[in-house]
Structure 1
Amino acid sequence: MAFRSFLVFALLMDKTGFSAEISVFVQTGVSVQLDIQTQELPEFYILHWINYKSDNIVTYLSGTKEIKPHDIYKDRVDFNKTTFSLTLKNMQKTDSGLYRAKTIGQSDNNIVTYRVSVMDEVEDPVLAVNSSWSSPDPCSFTCKGSNIFISSIYNGSSCSNEEVTAADNHTLRLSCSGDSIMCNYSNPVSLKTQVMKVNELCTVKQGAQKNEQTIYAKVDENIKPQKSLEMLEKSENPRTVYDTAGDTDVTNHTTPNDDPMNQSASLTEKSKPNAPSTIYCIIQQQPKPPKLKLITPFMV
């Protein structure tokens, strides 16, 4: 059965001259093979593979070539009579711990010890633009993987390559190549990557719209601009008016003392024949006339 594991050798010497401990990382649900790390073993009668609870996983009798698996591992182990290696199937997180091969003969020897760590496959990393970013500033984004993240800025054509490793052996890597941003998330048994183009990630945000009222009005040729302005004059809210005036034959002139309303109308009326003009006028709220008091006459 295929298996996926990752070995880290931590070689220590004991009195027997054999390696003392080897670290192994294995993905949840797959198998792992534990090998004897020496070609020649001392003469023995019995070889045991023992788990972290000191339970026998399998016992091999050299005289009869008999293999005796422990009941709880009966359907989960394969033992090789030639190499004496042990394969454990369908590993779960509860299987994490120490595994040791030991021989019994004229002397007892610890042949090899494995420290097995069972880990889940990593989740997909996430590339996301930071909520505080807005165009036209350089794109600010985050590369995230479960419990760790990297924040960076794509400035023009590049970003800084960064790497963060958490205490649980999970590593997050950020890199940029051309117009692509790559976020890698990995642990000793798996690796996943998300790649995005800069224009896909850093889309231009629309600026906030101003709270203003704009009126677009096309003035009929038979209606003087003054009438349109008079209708808007009664409004309580200041507004911006864009009026397109039609042709007119009026050629009146204004003086500096003329009312602004009449000036706007007159400016339109002075336009060249057959050439529509545009009026930009801010309508101000007109002050209300003062109230008159009624005085009752009295007799002396």
Structure 2
Amino acid sequence: MRVQLSATLTILSLTLNTVSSVGLSVLEGSPVTLTTTQHEDKEAIRDIKWYFNKIRTIVSYLPKHQDVEMGDLFKGRVEFNETDFSLMLKNPQRSDSGLYTAVLDIRGKGTETAASYELSVLAPVVAPTLTVVSNWSSSDSCNVTLKCTGLNVSLISSCNGTFCSQEGGDRFLSIAFNHTIVSCNHSNPVSWRQTTMELEPLCPSYEADVAPPAGISPCLLKALLLSVGLIVMVTAVITVHISYKLQKTK
């Protein structure tokens, strides 16, 4: 019974002292500060250590003696705050990606995890390329096939002057169409770049001022515009004729 109770208390202690890791993405070279949960009784803290990937000591601090000892791996590259126990990486590199944990040694309680971060240091994305694969146009229609390429991923887009479809790509690479401009967008969690291309020079039949709504072909739109123009002209002629008759009668 005593053995079972001891095992139960041990499991409960491990559960209470476990902190879920927080995922954090930062831009390479941009300072980042890792904070800890504040302990109620700082006087009871004998020491605090920050670890990299659980085995490499980044910094060790003894509050009683105000003694800070930096590990060789991060010496000169981090700043430790003796008041709130936070850790700042001044110039993080991609090789610094990994698990960062802060562990407190508390008098009468043992060790306790005060922070845990799964850090991803990412380089800024490069500007994507947007190239023409094929181009076909006639007097009343147009089709342009474009290739949008980012890092290790690409997509094909077919544009008809009013709409651009998309095949391939992922959530970090997409294509968008805004009136006469096609944009290729490349991103990651910390940066974003865009490359644009004017569609009008590739589609001579495309009229920038009157873009047909979705579902209406350019031929039908031209026929509608011509019909409206004729109706306006006929109405104007009839109006002038009636006005002339009225004036002549008077």
- After TM superposition, the score normalised by the length of structure 2 is 0.66
Question: C-alpha offsets along residues 122-170 of structure 1, whole Å, 9 cap, x if unaligned?
Answer: 111111111x3333341111221121112112213222477833xxxx7
Q: Partner residue of 1:247?
A: none
What is the letter of the counterpart of residue 177 of structure 1?
N
Alpha-carbon shift at residue 190 of structure 1 (Å): 1.0
Report if aligned partners of 2:127, 2:193 keep a CA contact under 8 Å in 1: yes
Aligned pairs for 1:239-254 within 5 A: none
Alpha-carbon shift at residue 21 of structure 1 (Å): 0.1
Residue in structure 2 matching 1:156, options 150, 153, 161? 161
The 1:73–1:146 alpha-carbon spacing in structure 2 relative to 1, beyond 3 Å, is closer
Q: Partner residue of 1:110?
A: 113
What is the letter of the counterpart of residue 114 of structure 1?
Y
Alpha-carbon shift at residue 27 of structure 1 (Å): 2.3
Distance 2:182 2:105 in 1: 57
Distance 2:74 2:157 in 1: 49
Question: C-alpha offsets along residues 1-42 of structure 1, whole Å, 9 cap, x if unaligned?
Answer: xxxxxxxxxxxxx62266320112222233221111x23356
Q: Partner residue of 2:208?
A: none
Report if aligned partners of 1:78, 1:87 keep a CA contact under 8 Å in 2: yes
What is the letter of the counterpart of residue 120 of structure 2?
S
The 1:53–1:102 alpha-carbon spacing in structure 2 relative to 1, beyond 3 Å, is closer
Distance 2:167 2:113 in 1: 43
Aligned pairs for 1:98-247 within 5 A: 98-105=99-106, 106=108, 107-130=110-133, 132-136=134-138, 137-160=142-165, 164-165=169-170, 171-200=172-201, 202=202
Identity over aligned pairs, percent: 32
The 1:65–1:82 alpha-carbon spacing in structure 2 relative to 1, beyond 3 Å, is same
Distance 1:163 1:76 in 2: 41
Q: Partner residue of 1:47?
A: 48
Aligned pairs for 1:76-87 within 5 A: 76-87=77-88
Greater length-normalized contact order (CA 8 Å, ≥ 6 residues apart): 2
Superposed CA RMSD in Å reads 2.3
| Larger gyration radius, structure 1 or structure 2 | 1
Alpha-carbon shift at residue 62 of structure 1 (Å): 1.5
What is the letter of the counterpart of residue 135 of structure 1?
S
Distance 1:90 1:29 in 2: 5
2:95 is paired with a residue of what secondary structure?
Answer: helix
Question: C-alpha offsets along residues 202-231 of structure 1, whole Å, 9 cap, x if unaligned?
Answer: 267xxxxxxxxxxxxxxxxxxxxxxxxxxx
Q: Partner residue of 1:266?
A: none
Q: Partner residue of 2:10?
A: none
Distance 2:40 2:56 in 1: 22
The 1:198–1:148 alpha-carbon spacing in structure 2 relative to 1, beyond 3 Å, is same
The 1:67–1:163 alpha-carbon spacing in structure 2 relative to 1, beyond 3 Å, is farther
Structure with the largest fraction of helix: 2
Distance 2:173 2:167 in 1: 8
Distance 1:119 1:101 in 2: 23
Unpaired runs of 5+ residues, structure 2, are 1-13, 205-250
- After TM superposition, the score normalised by the length of structure 1 is 0.56
The count of corresponding residues between Structure 1 and Structure 2 is 184
What is the letter of the counterpart of residue 134 of structure 1?
W
Distance 2:40 2:76 in 1: 27
Q: Partner residue of 2:31?
A: 31
Report if aligned partners of 1:162, 1:173 keep a CA contact under 8 Å in 2: no
Report if aligned partners of 1:60, 1:66 keep a CA contact under 8 Å in 2: yes
The 1:63–1:162 alpha-carbon spacing in structure 2 relative to 1, beyond 3 Å, is farther
Q: Which moved more, 1:185-194 or 1:15-24?
A: 15-24
1:33 is paired with a residue of what secondary structure?
Answer: strand
Unpaired runs of 5+ residues, structure 1, are 1-13, 205-300
Report if aligned partners of 2:33, 2:89 keep a CA contact under 8 Å in 1: yes
